[in-house]
A and B are shown apart, each in its own frame.
Chain A
Amino acid sequence: MLGETEPQWLSEEVKTGTTIIAIEFNGGVVLGSDSRVSAGESVVNRVMNKLSPLHDKIYCALSGSAADAQTIAEAVNYQLDVHSMEIGEDPKVRSAATLVKNISYKYKEELSAHLIVAGWDRKDGGQVFATMKGLLTRQPFAVGGSGSSYVYGFVDAEYRKGMSREECQQFVVNTLALAMNRDGSSGGVAYLVTIDEHNTEEKVILGNDLPTFFDQ
């Protein structure tokens, strides 16, 4: 057939149109993400884990362009490895976040990725840092990705200070489920990572185990 061109999604950039969230509790952090990777209207990967380890007790949540985010995470993982050997102890979460921020800011015109860095260290316990477009700010919790717009109201209303570890995990799962329901670029399964002084726990919550709301 004359004049047939290739499907549009082959030429679209691969984005992790996404919902990511991280929240701090007394003694650690909980990170959560969905698992959909889209190229335009096509879902390229429906089970991608967007929670990437930077160090034993520091993780980051990826959003924006998949390639950009993964590259930043790998580069910082390497830098933190070297850094922790040089100083002879586990790196601070702030160091990891600063390294991510330095790359995001220096290449802010070329990159389009937003990483949320969260983890636990000996000095300040659980910490969450947002590093969008090259800023660095510590927050009690942070949301990001295209799906986050749909849940700002929910997180602002439902967040309370001093939530326990289990309450934080439930809060994260609820937020992800609501966002995945409304955002076309988020979906699949929910990945959860809980980091505290003693261990780092990774969990997957499959689609039918996610919480349901009024319309389901």
Chain B
Amino acid sequence: MDKTLRRGPERQLGVKNDTKSVFFININVNSLCVCVCVCVCVCVCVCGLQYDLSASTFSPDGRVFQVEYAMKAVENSSTAIGIRCKDGIVFGVEKLVLSKLYEEGSNKRIFNIDRHVGMAVAGLLADARSLAEVAREEASNFRSNYGHDIPLKHLSDRVAMYVHAYTLYSAVRPFGCSFILGSYNKDDGAQLYMVDPSGISYGYWGCAIGKAKQAAKTEIEKLQMREMTCRELVKEVAKIIYIVHDEVKDKAFELELSWVGEVTNGRHELVPKDIKEEAEKYAKDSLEEEDDSDEDNM
């Protein structure tokens, strides 16, 4: 399939035989060269035809395909979840280990944005790193201009605006990552926001992004997070990551856990080693219990 993005006025002679295959001949008036673009689409409406080549084009049914493709890029990455409880936020990321040669703890997917704000990402890691820098600059400028910590809703609105700007022009591509921002302070309590490649930000009690987000959301909905404390929640987050991890398709994984809340005095930190080990043990034990109970049923 040979696709070339042509700028400038184009005349397209489309000869549509049936819904199964379409032939286009593109004539660029300026350069008088003829490019034959052959596009064979099997299914009816899922392929964007010529409407998916740039983010500056709407499709006839009102979709911007480039943004949707960016969201698919997020769904290819491994899962990240964030849950808000009554006194803080806990992030958990399933970090797939593709090679035994990787150094343990490299390629972190949880970032510190400011003392009090943490960010967990899913999708293209390079895109996410650049957005983390943008978020850090926003938080730093706010602190410099106004003298106090940036409120999380404001930070999430500002970064979402930035992500949205990249969905408007054909010269750039949308960011291929979603991320979850969380913070805690004594006056406003715990807050959790998620931003996706389309540039929308929502506030959540619990959310999941990445390949197993549906399964993770189901597990999160079972929790009574409004009554839990961070210490109890850490174990549940570890358990959910272990549950949604697919042993068959993806082999080894590292669990990244971080939290911010009253227990850390409002600072976003990685969960200390001993608490993390306790949480992983709880997660592995509860998985075994479920396996056992499955066997009984058989």
A156 within 8 A of B: no
Report the count of interface residues on A (CB-CB < 8 A): 16
Is B153 a contact of A83 with CB atoms below 8 Å? Answer: no
A57 interface residue (CB < 8 Å to B): no
| A88 part of interface (Cβ distance < 8 Å) | yes
Among the listed stretches A9-17, A94-102, A140-148, A185-193, which one makes contact with chain B, having 4 or more residues with CB under 8 Å of it?
A94-102
Contact partner of B145 (CB less than 8 A), chosen from A102, A123, A136, is A102
Tell me if A83 and B146 are in contact (CB < 8 A).
yes
A residues 87-127 near B (Cβ < 8 Å) are 87-88, 91-92, 94-95, 97-99, 101-102, 122-123
Shortest distance from the beta carbon of A80 to any chain B beta carbon, whole Å: 10
Contact of A97 among B147, B153, B154, B187 (CB under 8 A): B147
| A123–B148 alpha-carbon span in the complex (Å) | 12
Q: Assess whether B148 is in contact with A92, with CB atoms less than 8 Å apart.
A: yes
Q: Which of B147, B153, B154 sits near A98, CB closer than 8 Å?
A: B147
Known: A86-B154, A88-B153. A94 touches B145 (CB 8 A): no
Cα distance, A92 to B146, chains bound together (Å): 9
* Of A88, A95, A122, the contact of B146 (CB 8 Å cutoff): A95
Contact A98–B187 (Cβ < 8 Å)? no
Contact A94 B153 (CB under 8 A): no
Q: For residue B185, which residue of chain A has the nearest CB? A: A123
Q: Which residues of B contact A87 (CB under 8 A)?
A: 151, 153-154
Consensus secondary structure, chain B interface: helix
Please classify the interface of chain A as helix (H, G, I), strand (E, B), loop, or mixed, using the class held by over half of its residues.
helix
How far in angstroms is the closest Cβ of chain A from B170?
30
Question: Which of A11-51 touch B at CB < 8 Å?
Answer: none
Q: How far is the CA of A87 from the CA of B151 in the complex (A)?
A: 8
Cα–Cα, bound, A102→B145 (Å): 7
A86 CA to B146 CA, complexed, in Å = 13
Contact yes or no, A99 B145, CB < 8 A = yes
**Whole-angstrom distance between the alpha carbons of A98 and B145 in the complex?**
7
Cβ of A122: which chain B residues have Cβ within 8 Å of it?
187
Q: Which of A86, A101, A123 makes the CB contact (< 8 A) with B187?
A: A123
Residues of A within 8 A of B187 (CB): 122-123
State A98–B148 Cα separation when bound (angstroms): 9
Other A-B pairs beyond A94-B146, A98-B147, A102-B144, 6, CB < 8 Å:
A87-B154, A92-B147, A94-B147, A98-B148, A101-B147, A102-B145
Could you list 8 examples of A-B contacts with CB < 8 Å? A91-B146, A92-B147, A92-B148, A95-B147, A97-B147, A98-B145, A101-B147, A102-B144
